[in-house]
């Protein structure tokens, strides 16, 4: 099926949407989907066994994400798959779309809307080390922001800080300030792209430490709109399902505090999936 087609739920259940990330970042996307289409059956899968993705090389990432998504699709039988991870989306989407006959929605850095929004023509790009140096990202810049100066910051530490925040530990403001400093080295940058789904979860802290007001741009709402456009018309009238199931790829000592954070986000059940790759 073409990913632009409207879909019907398979069987007699509300549309089931699988939202996938390496860690907790995709929750920022899940929250937007839940806000727009609260009647959908949401399954949140995170690859905590192979986390983090942002420092992996492209080949290893493609093999891993392909294996995990195949196993997840078999287990969950979703109507739509949302790859809620910029790092994965920028390398694996064509491969996943080739073997899944339902829509696959990916997240790509919001460079185009940022370029449309920026008056100063200086934009910041904050992603994982993988995303900020990827060819895919460079192509987005060439296509949509060729007349902008782009300040890039790739941070794996920020991903860890977001993970720890969900597990209950408050981000260290001095560290955040230091990581964001390149954007504020001059007065020029007026728009910053949050090109990692973990980062909207730190937005209140970013706003607090930023030395001046800038526009922070992420892709969550656009993804939720895309998902909504793929759903059958009656979906908006379905009774809301505020709770969701989570699937983890590893059960380890960290999983307990992770599950605690997921529950606070509305998760009511945790399953495990083992993937050998
Ligand atoms: N949340 C992911 C992203 O959007 C990546 C985090 C990681 O595993 O490094 O890029």
Question: Ligand 1, from 19, 21, 84: best to mutate by most atoms within 8 Å of Cβ?
Answer: 21
* CA 160–ligand 1 middle distance (angstroms): 10
* CA 63–ligand 1 middle distance (angstroms): 16
Strand partners, 269: 245
Which of ligand 1's atoms lies nearest the C-alpha of 51?
8
* CA 117–ligand 1 middle distance (angstroms): 24
Per-residue pLDDT 10s for the chain (277 aa) are 334 444 545 455 799 999 999 999 999 999 999 999 999 999 999 999 999 999 999 999 999 999 999 999 999 999 999 999 999 998 888 888 888 888 999 999 999 999 999 999 999 999 999 999 999 999 999 999 999 999 999 999 999 999 999 999 999 999 999 999 999 999 999 999 999 999 999 999 999 999 999 999 999 999 999 999 999 888 877 888 888 999 999 999 899 899 999 999 999 999 999 998 7
Question: Ligand 1, from 54, 93, 155, 199: best to mutate by most atoms within 8 Å of Cβ?
Answer: 54
Which of ligand 1's atoms lies nearest the C-alpha of 52?
8
Contacts for 94-98: CB closer than 8 Å, 24+ residues apart = 95/62, 95/66, 96/65, 96/66, 96/69, 97/3
Structure tokens, 129: 């080390």
φ, ψ for residue 188, nearest 5 deg: -75, -40
Question: Ligand 1, from 156, 198, 202, 258: best to mutate by most atoms within 8 Å of Cβ?
Answer: 198
Structure tokens, 3: 């990913």
Question: Are 104 and 81 within 8 A, CB to CB?
Answer: yes
Was domain 16-108+221-272 assigned CATH 3.40.50.1860?
Answer: yes
Question: Are 114 and 217 within 8 A, CB to CB?
Answer: yes
Residues with catalytic function: 85, 196
Ligand 1 — pocket residues by CB below 6 A?
21-23, 25, 51-54, 85-87, 128, 131, 159, 196-198
Q: How far apart are CA 55 and CA 17, in angstroms?
A: 27
pLDDT of residue 5: 46
* CA 41–ligand 1 middle distance (angstroms): 23
Question: Are 260 and 168 within 8 A, CB to CB?
Answer: yes
CA–CA distance from 181 to each of 137, 160, 270 (Å)? 22, 18, 38
pLDDT of residue 277: 73
Q: Which of 276, 228, 198, 267 is nearest to 45 (CA)?
A: 267
Q: How far apart are CA 165 and CA 162, in angstroms?
A: 5
Rg (CA), the chain: 18
Residue 267 is given by DSSP the state E
Which of ligand 1's atoms lies nearest the C-alpha of 84?
4
Is beta strand 191-194 parallel, antiparallel or unpaired with respect to 80-83? unpaired
Which of ligand 1's atoms lies nearest the C-alpha of 196?
4
Residues of the chain with CATH 3.40.50.1860: 16-108+221-272, 111-218
Axis crossing angle, helix 58-76 with helix 86-99, rounded to the nearest 10 = 60
Query: Could you name the CATH architecture of 111-218?
Result: 3-Layer(aba) Sandwich (3.40)
If one counts every other C-beta atom within 10 angstroms of the C-beta of residue 130, the result is 24
**Distance between first and last Cα of the chain:** 28
* CA 92–ligand 1 middle distance (angstroms): 13
Q: How far apart are CA 184 and CA 86, in angstroms?
A: 24
Q: Which of 218, 191, 186 is nearest to 202 (CA)?
A: 218
């Amino acid at each position: 099926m073409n990913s632009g087609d409207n879909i019907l739920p398979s069987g007699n259940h509300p549309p089931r949407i699988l939202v996938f990330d390496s860690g907790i970042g995709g929750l920022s996307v899940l929250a937007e989907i839940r806000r727009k289409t609260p009647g959908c059956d949401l399954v949140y899968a995170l690859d905590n066994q192979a986390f983090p993705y942002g420092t992996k090389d492209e080949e290893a990432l493609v093999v891993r994400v392909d294996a995990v998504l195949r196993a997840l699709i078999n287990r969950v039988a979703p109507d739509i798959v949302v790859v809620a991870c910029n790092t994965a989306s920028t390398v694996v989407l064509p491969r996943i779309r080739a073997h899944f006959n339902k829509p696959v929605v990916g997240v790509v850095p919001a460079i185009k809307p940022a370029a449309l929004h920026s008056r100063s023509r200086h934009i910041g790009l904050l992603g994982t080390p993988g995303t900020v140096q990827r060819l895919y990202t460079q192509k987005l810049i060439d296509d949509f922001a060729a007349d902008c100066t782009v300040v890039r910051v790739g941070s794996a530490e920020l991903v860890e800080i977001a993970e720890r925040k969900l597990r209950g530990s408050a981000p260290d403001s001095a560290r955040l300030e230091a990581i964001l400093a390149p954007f504020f080295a001059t007065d020029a940058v007026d728009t910053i792209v949050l090109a990692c789904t973990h980062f909207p979860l730190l937005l209140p802290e970013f706003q607090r430490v930023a030395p001046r007001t800038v526009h922070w741009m992420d892709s969550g709402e656009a993804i939720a709109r895309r998902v909504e456009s793929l759903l059958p018309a009656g979906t908006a009238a379905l009774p809301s399902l505020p709770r969701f199931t989570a699937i983890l790829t590893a059960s380890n000592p960290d999983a307990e505090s992770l599950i605690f954070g997921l529950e606070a986000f509305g998760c009511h059940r945790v399953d495990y999936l083992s993937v050998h790759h």
